[in-house]
Amino acid sequence: MRQERVKTVIEPRSAWFDLKFREIAQYKDLLFLFVRRDLVAQYKQTILGPLWYFIQPILTTLTYTLIFGNVAGLSTDGLPKMLFYMAGVTCWRYFSDSLNKTSNTFTQNAQIFGKVYFPRAIMPISITITNLAMFGIQLLLFFGFYAFYVITGQFSLNLQPELFLFPLLIVIMMLLGLGFGFILSALTTKYRDLKFLITFGVQLLMYATPVIYPLSSLPAKYKPFILANPMTPIIETFRFMFLGSGSMNYMHLGYSIVFAIVLFLIGLIIFNRTEKNFMDTV
């Protein structure tokens, strides 16, 4: 009986929009191995371990509640401060973590990329999937606080029919994180000092997003600038779906969808172009 030989053909990429989904599917085991590695290694050899997935969003929410809610006295649209800020933190953290971590794809994995071949897009995709697991944990935490406020009578259950669009919000955030990450990872291969500006820039972008304030509290002249941020409709829609506050505007949400798709495609083009010769510059 003849044994069939398996051949792997490595050839240069020529198509601009060549993500090679079939090839990524063939390496799905490697993809999930990277996801498992990131989940286990992030808090390995720490005292509290996976508890940090819960501690970090709680501490962030408490800080925002104290500083922006109590000291600064910013409006929360009549919502309990903890629920208001936790809703914004949950969405923003998934986007910002995906962006920050995928932006270092080439520089942090140069040794692996230089020794063995596999579809390079697997690495940033694995990061967004890993962050999706963290997002799920933080979402459970949000639901826990939500249930507490409902049971204690401090807030009434106010889920909206548009809740079925929630998976769409996750996809938009994933595409935004990947799109920005693709572009920034390509730029940091040549301009290393950009990595020092990325975290700072993402932090500044948060203040241009209704994470710590509701869109309704802004003067009319500033709203167009805040709505130009594609994360604004996502966070506003999230609050509207679960808390009944905020705004649900299909035109604004459509803008975020188009922005995310276009950004992802542009980022993919740049990522594919950079992948061919990044070892010469890293």
**pTM (2 d.p.):** 0.85
Residue 232: CB atoms within 10 Å: 22
Residue with tokens 């639901």: 143
One-letter amino acid identity for 257? I
- What is the overall mean pLDDT for the chain? 83
23: burial class by Cβ within 10 Å (0-12, 13-18, 19+)?
middle
254 in a structural domain: yes
> Total structural domains in the chain?
1
Do residues 174 and 95 lie in contact, with contact meaning Cβ atoms separated by under 8 Å? no
15 in a structural domain: no
Angle, vertex CA 113, rays to CA 107 and CA 115, nearest 5: 130
Do residues 248 and 162 lie in contact, with contact meaning Cβ atoms separated by under 8 Å? yes
What mean pLDDT comes out for the span 237-249?
89
128 in a structural domain: yes
What mean pLDDT comes out for the span 129-155?
90
The whole domain housing 96 covers 55-280
8 in a structural domain: no
Residue with tokens 């808390």: 243
Q: pLDDT per residue over 8-55, tens digit each?
A: 555 655 555 565 667 777 878 888 888 887 777 766 656 666 677 788
205 in a structural domain: yes
243 in a structural domain: yes
29 in a structural domain: no
38 in a structural domain: no
Closest of 199, 225, 241, 238 to residue 89, by C-alpha: 238
